[in-house]
Structure 1
Amino acid sequence: MNNSANSIALDTTDLRVLDLLQQDASLSNQALAELAHVSPATCLRRVKRLVETGVIERRVALLSPDKLGAGLSAIVEITLDRQGAEHLAAFEQKLLAEVAVQQCYRVSPGPDFVLILQVPDMPAYHALVLRLFTQDANVRNVKTFFSVLRSKFEPRIALPAAQGGLSRA
């Protein structure tokens, strides 16, 4: 796999390890090695290289927003009045500092940003709107969509098949 300048070469073992970690990042090195059909030392070396090259950005636990009192999901489109690089960067920094902003994308065409927010309730959403958008003179338009049902949430990346195919453990 080497489709872009940012890609690194991954073989079948790398892809198998990545596939297994996407299913369960809490696997011990011993269990991961066993499922990937490699020695523990090889597995540890592979995972370390995947982390060092940035293929694995981080390992996290996925939590249930509903069970933790953060059950309101919102998708927000934001358009700014001034789109100069310094204005976009300044606004983006404000968004990145906000814990309720789970995902932040600069997009084109259309709005300047699309955000995925997770907040406890509508009052918390309104407080966030005041803090981030209403008090910012550069924000021209905010359009929010509220989730009524989360049908799918899968932060998994489809992995390419290595030459000879990827055998799933």
Structure 2
Amino acid sequence: MELDSTDWALLGALQADANPSNQALAQALGISPPTALRRTRRLRDAGLIARQVALLDEDKIAALQGHGLTAIAEVSLDRQGAEHLDAFERRAVQEAAVAQCWRVAPGPDFILVLRVADMPGYQDVAERLFTQDANVRNVRAFFAVRRAKFETQIPLSRP
């Protein structure tokens, strides 16, 4: 799929704010509303727009709920064969508390971002994912005390 400057502009605008109406988006980019709608659908159908979501303020939600804990865990496995890595990855992504799962190299095999209610919640996840898996060799967990930056936008370079 080839993208032109209008496609790139649409992607940039939508990842900054996916909430504007089709008419507002078209006006901001200097294109007609039918063109904006058609191209946005084409970008979505091509899989370049994976989904549109509302980003909640994690700290404000935690304050309303009276709790909230984010943990970043480095996970190293004993055996790194593809089947072992795939098996752990499948288990991790099925876990509701896992917000992000990254397979990395060099160093640990995985980096997980976990969101749980509190330390007992983390302990429950740790037992399910780490303690009960004989192939997990080492886990280093870090607990977030403050988030200085959180960005969802992908830098777009236009060819």
Q: Normalising to structure 2: TM-score of the pair? A: 0.91
Q: Distance in 2 between matches of 1:80 and 1:106?
A: 11
Q: Distance in 1 between matches of 2:116 and 2:61?
A: 10
**Cα offset, 1:44, TM superposition:** 0.9
Q: Residue in 2 aligned with 1:32? A: 25
The alignment's C-alpha RMSD in Å is 1.4
Distance in 1 (CA, whole Å) between partners of 2:37 and 2:103 is 36
Name which of 56, 78, 82 aligns with 1:81.
Answer: 78
1:75 aligned partner, one-letter code: I
- 2:139 is paired with a residue of what secondary structure? strand
| Secondary structure class of the residue paired with 1:117 | strand
Residue 63 (str. 1) matches residue 56 (str. 2): yes
- How many residues are treated as equivalent by the alignment? 155
Q: CA deviation at 1:98?
A: 1.0
Counterpart of 2:43? 50
Aligned to 1:129, what secondary structure does the other structure show? Answer: helix
Mapped partners of 1:85, 1:159: distance in 2: 32
Q: C-alpha separation between the residues in 2 aligned to 1:27 and 1:123? A: 41
Structure 2 spans left out of the alignment, 5+ residues: none
Q: Identify the residue that residue 7 of structure 2 maps to in structure 1.
A: 14
Q: Deviations over 1:8-30 (max 9, x none)?
A: 43222112111111121112211
Aligned equivalents of 1:25, 1:71: Cα separation in 2: 27
Amino acid of the structure 2 residue aligned with 1:135: Q
Q: What displacement does 1:160 show? A: 1.0
The aligned counterpart of 1:4 is none
Name the one with the larger helix percent. 2
The secondary structure found in structure 1 opposite 2:138 is strand
Overall identity of the aligned pairs, in %: 57
Correspondence 1:23 to 2:20: no
The reply to whether residue 140 of structure 1 matches residue 137 of structure 2 is yes
Higher RCO (CA 8 Å, separation ≥ 6 residues): 1
Q: Any idea what SS the aligned residue of 1:108 has?
A: coil
In 1, Cα distance between equivalents of 2:105 and 2:158: 31
Secondary structure, counterpart of 1:21 in structure 2: helix
Structure 1 length as normaliser, TM-score?
Answer: 0.86
